[in-house]
């Protein structure tokens, strides 16, 4: 069975070590920086038990018969990919696309590992059985996998082992009969503090000398020595749900992971001292492509939400029917459909998992989506802001002003538009500011640009994963179709 929201919240009260503003956080389900977001995630789990959404989100596990989330399942055909996308869509709509790392993100990555376990049969360590057991544990326990697979930005011109100190980037410091001890840091644990386990690995290539850093494992969040250092909490900074409707409820948090001599039992190790397997874990298995499938669904949902805001804002300003505004709305809706159609195309042109089980979305289109989304998101924000004008800024500091005996009547008189009395207008524009201009919004812009890597990494990947030869050949065919002496100059 999948968990209920209450069971999920209970599991968070386990003594995990989280730091915020120089203080330890003892219970994230009660702390003002985390509690609402924890409840928003709990609501996702509750959806797996509701009559309308349960069949979309869950499916009986073939071996045990128990219901598991679809994201843990290895899709075997196009229809299974579509079914998985519908599950992603149901969850992403519950947060309007603002919970990027909801539990289905990494669950589909784990299914990707299980689809091609041979990748974990490395030179020095055979992780295949551990991967299979890990997949079962996470799927049947309905566990939430956080992940930190990026090395900290200390000196990007040096490899992991060449940094000023050899344990800045997380590495193995000791091997025991029962497991390994690791020390060092990883970035950026988005939603990590809300997870049950964190997987550590490295998604970018390591150098041959980085062998001690070429390790991957998944451990519970309450493991001794595991520390999460949170960024500023937007949820804690929110005045109320009315004033900050998104940041007060969907601040998925980002944290630095520090492993202070953490013991990892062998059965939790997936890759060990293997530079090649460390990379192939993400790229040779469907793991990365499965991430994109979830992310592309969420991105489409988020653009639908922003387009909806644009329409509501134009109506509130009574500009909706103006031809230039229709042009702007049309542009935004066109972008929504680009996002939707890339997703559908990636499913339609799905590929078999070579050497493994099942299918995955089209690698070439997944690679292009990564670049499209990072480029497009700032443009969407800019276009909606352009529509909104100064109304986004001319807002009372909080909803209390509306309730104040002197200020309330003033605001009702001066902050309004046709069919939009003050409260309705202020409510809409506060939501819009949270999505477009707040610190939370700015973090989301950075997220959409970087969560799948930096442009200097993903743009060359389009050349690598794509078919540049087809484009080159077409242009060459044109060139080959005429010669200098074919047609005399001046003759049509």
Ligand X SMILES: Cc1cc2nc3c(=O)[nH]c(=O)nc-3n(C[C@H](O)[C@H](O)[C@H](O)COP(=O)(O)OP(=O)(O)OC[C@H]3O[C@@H](n4cnc5c(N)ncnc54)[C@H](O)[C@@H]3O)c2cc1C
Stretch that binds ligand X, among 46-54, 338-346, 377-385, 451-459 (CB under 6 A): 451-459
* d(C-alpha 300, C-alpha 310), whole Å: 15
> From CA 198, how far away is CA 268, in angstroms rounded?
11
Nearer to ligand X, 356 or 453 (CB): 453
Cβ neighbourhood burial of 249 (10 Å; 0-12, 13-18, 19+): buried
Q: Which range, of 42-50, 186-194, 316-324, 362-370, touches ligand X by CB under 6 A?
A: 186-194
Q: Which CB atom, from 102 or from 362, has the smaller least distance to ligand X? A: 102
Please report how many Cα atoms fall inside a 13 Å half-sphere around the Cα of residue 278, on the Cβ side.
25
Q: How far is the CB of 193 from ligand X (least distance, A)?
A: 11
Task: Say if residue 154 carries a ligand binding annotation.
Answer: yes
Q: Locate all alpha helices (DSSP H) within 116-202, ordered by sequence.
A: 128-140
Q: What's the gap between Cα 385 and its chain centre?
A: 24
Q: x/- site string to ligand X, residues 134 to 173, per CB under 6 A? A: -------------xxxx--x--x-----------------
Interface residue with ligand X among 82, 450, 465, 466 (CB under 6 A) is: 450
Closest residue by beta carbon to ligand X: 190
* CA nearest to 25, candidates 269, 278, 235, 260: 235
Which residue stretches of 12-77 are H helix?
35-47, 54-57
Please select the residue that binds ligand X; options are 413, 456, 464, 483, rule is CB under 6 A: 456
DSSP annotation of 16: -
d(CA 419, CA 21) in angstroms, rounded, equals 44
Nearest approach in angstroms of CB 159 to ligand X is 11
Please tell me whether 210 is known to bind a ligand: no
**254 by DSSP, 3-state: which?**
coil
Binding span for ligand X by CB under 6 A among 158-166, 275-283, 412-420, 444-452: 444-452
Nearest to residue 360, comparing CAs of 88, 81, 58? 81
Closest contact distance (angstroms) between CB of 445 and ligand X is 9
Cα separation, 98 vs 94, whole angstroms? 9
358 binds ligand X (CB under 6 A): no
Shortest reach from residue 10's CB to ligand X, in Å: 24
| Residue 188 interacting with ligand X (CB under 6 A) | yes
- Work out whether the CA dihedral 376, 379, 381, 387 comes out positive or negative: negative
CB of 473 vs ligand X, minimal distance in Å = 30
Pairing relation of β-strands 197-200 and 145-148?
parallel
Per-residue binder mask for ligand X (CB under 6 A), 98-127, x = binder: ---x--------------------------
Binder among 190, 278, 297, 362 for ligand X (CB under 6 A): 190
Chain residues that interact with ligand X, rule: CB under 6 A: 101, 147-150, 153, 156, 187-190, 254, 443, 446-447, 450-451, 453-456
Binding-site annotation: residue ranges for FAD: 153-156, 190
Binding-site annotation: residue ranges: 153-156, 190
């Amino acid at each position: 069975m999948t968990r209920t929201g209450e069971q999920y919240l209970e599991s968070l009260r386990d003594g995990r070590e989280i730091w915020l503003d120089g203080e330890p956080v003892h219970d994230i389900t009660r702390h003002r920086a985390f509690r609402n977001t924890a409840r928003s995630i709990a609501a996702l789990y509750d959806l797996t038990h509701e009559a309308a959404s349960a069949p979309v989100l869950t499916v009986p596990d073939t071996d045990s018969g128990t219901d598991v989330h679809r994201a843990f399942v290895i899709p075997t055909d196009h229809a299974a990919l579509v079914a998985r996308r519908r599950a992603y869509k149901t969850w992403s709509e519950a947060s309007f696309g603002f919970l990027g790392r909801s539990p289905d993100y990494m669950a589909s990555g784990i299914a990707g590992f299980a689809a091609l376990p041979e990748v974990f049969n490395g030179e020095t360590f055979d992780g295949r059985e551990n991967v299979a057991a890990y997949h079962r544990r996470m799927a049947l326990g309905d566990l939430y996998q956080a992940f930190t697979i990026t090395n900290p930005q200390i000196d990007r011109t040096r490899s992991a082992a060449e940094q000023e100190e050899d344990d800045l980037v997380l590495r193995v410091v000791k091997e025991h009969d029962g497991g390994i001890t690791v020390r060092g840091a990883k970035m950026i644990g988005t939603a990590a503090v809300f997870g049950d386990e964190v997987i550590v690995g490295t998604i970018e290539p390591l150098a041959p000398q980085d062998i001690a850093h070429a390790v991957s494992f998944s451990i519970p969040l309450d493991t001794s020595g595991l520390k999460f250092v949170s960024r500023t909490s937007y949820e804690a900074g929110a005045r109320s749900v009315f004033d900050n409707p998104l940041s007060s409820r969907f601040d998925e948090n980002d944290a630095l992971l520090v492993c202070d001599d953490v013991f990892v039992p062998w059965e939790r190790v997936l890759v060990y001292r293997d530079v090649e397997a460390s990379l192939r874990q993400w790229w040779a298995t469907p793991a990365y492509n499965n991430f994109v499938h979830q992310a592309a669904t969420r991105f489409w949902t988020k653009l639908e939400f922003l387009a909806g805001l644009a329409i509501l804002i134009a109506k509130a300003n009574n500009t909706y029917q103006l031809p230039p505004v229709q042009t702007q709305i049309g542009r935004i809706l066109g972008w929504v459909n680009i996002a939707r159609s890339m997703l559908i195309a990636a499913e339609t042109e799905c590929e078999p998992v070579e050497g493994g089980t099942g299918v995955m979305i089209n690698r070439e289109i997944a690679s292009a989506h990564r670049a499209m989304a990072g480029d497009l998101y700032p443009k969407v924000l800019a276009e909606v802001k352009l529509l909104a004008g100064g109304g986004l800024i001319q807002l009372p500091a909080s909803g209390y002003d509306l309730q104040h005996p002197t200020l309330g009547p003033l605001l009702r008189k001066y902050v309004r538009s046709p069919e939009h009395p003050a409260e309705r207008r202020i409510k809409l524009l506060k939501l819009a500011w949270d999505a477009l201009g707040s610190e939370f919004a700015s973090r989301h812009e950075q997220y959409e640009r970087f969560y799948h890597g930096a442009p200097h990494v993903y743009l060359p990947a389009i050349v690598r994963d794509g078919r540049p030869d087809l484009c080159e050949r077409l242009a060459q065919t044109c060139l080959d179709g005429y010669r200098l002496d074919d047609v005399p100059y001046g003759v049509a």
